[in-house]
Amino acid sequence: MNAAFVIARQTFRLLRRDQVFIPVVLAGLLITGFANIASDWSVEDFSKILFDIGGFGFAVTGSLVALFWGTKILGDARSDGAVEVELSTSISRAAWLAGKYLGIALTLVLLGVILIVIWQMIMLANNFGWMTEGQLLIFLLMIVGWLAVAATAVFFSAFCGTTVAVFCTFCAWMVGLVAALVAGTLTDRTSPAMAALVRGAARFWDFQQFNAIQHAVTMPPLTHAEMLMRFGYGAVLIAILVSAGCMIFDRKDLLS
């Protein structure tokens, strides 16, 4: 476990040197710009649009960072030979991969905190006051969604090259976003096999669980029980993906 934390600290430093925090600044500037454009609208419309803009920017920024840097950090370790050097010590393969994920996760959490602070400043600047508990939980839930995307990236990077891992992670992310929506459009004319496949994906691979921004303003807030179920779903999904990635990586030829 100590070895995993050492790798996590090293990964965090590498991501910081790779200027991973630049998207946070860009996202904050974009959100501020859209907020200024909407400043002449009514308070009700402005509140809804502000949260729609913020939720979209928050979710996409973190997910893209998780996708691209999650695959890149593992690809770089292979290309520069760092993985062979680090595994030549007493670090096990599973601890090494888990440490890489922990480093990415720590970076994403810090990114989320920075974005939440920027978002709170925008709210205060537009006289919306402080976030409610429900609104804060919604943004924290989106961070869990980022961590799930990062776990997906680590899973595919455990046995794929960087380009293939990026493609597979992106496709899996898209499937997770649309599976529940597509499942809601199924009719009696849909093939039973296809309907079972879509419903299974919507049940077990549903990234819409991390998107609850509509409950921040226009819809009733989620109950604590509903929030707990969504956080629990994210934790289980992350644990399964990282564990599966570690198992595969432990048996994989590093040179292949």
Number of H helices, E strands in the chain: 9, 0
Say which amino acid occupies 184. Answer: G
Asked if residue 206 has pLDDT above 50, the reply is yes
* Nearest-angstrom CA–CA distance, 16 and 38: 33
How many CB atoms within 10 Å of residue 6?
Answer: 17
Res. 255 pLDDT band, cuts 50 70 90:
very low
Nearest to 136 by CA among 213, 71, 199: 213
Do residues 143 and 55 touch, judged by C-beta distance below 8 A? no
For residue 44, pLDDT over 70 is answered with no
Q: For 135-185, how does the pLDDT look when each residue is reduced to its tens digit (9 = 90+)?
A: 889 999 999 999 999 999 999 998 888 899 999 999 999 999 988 888 877
Max mean pLDDT range (106-115, 128-137, 186-195): 106-115
Count the neighbouring beta carbons within 10 Å of the beta carbon of residue 60: 12
Q: With bands split at pLDDT 50, 70 and 90, how would you rate the model's confidence at 39? A: low
CA quadruple 154, 160, 162, 167: dihedral positive or negative?
negative
Q: In this predicted structure, what is the pLDDT of residue 254? A: 56
Short-list 58, 63, 224, 202, CA closest to 139: 58
pTM metric for this prediction: 0.89
pLDDT, one tens digit per residue, over 208-235 is 899 888 877 777 788 889 999 999 999 9
Q: Supply the pLDDT for residue 36.
A: 59
What's the rounded mean pLDDT across residues 2-18?
A: 78
CA-to-CA distance for 17 and 24, rounded, in angstroms? 15
Q: How confident is the model at residue 28 (pLDDT cuts 50, 70, 90)?
A: low
Domain ranges, ordered by start, for the chain: 2-251
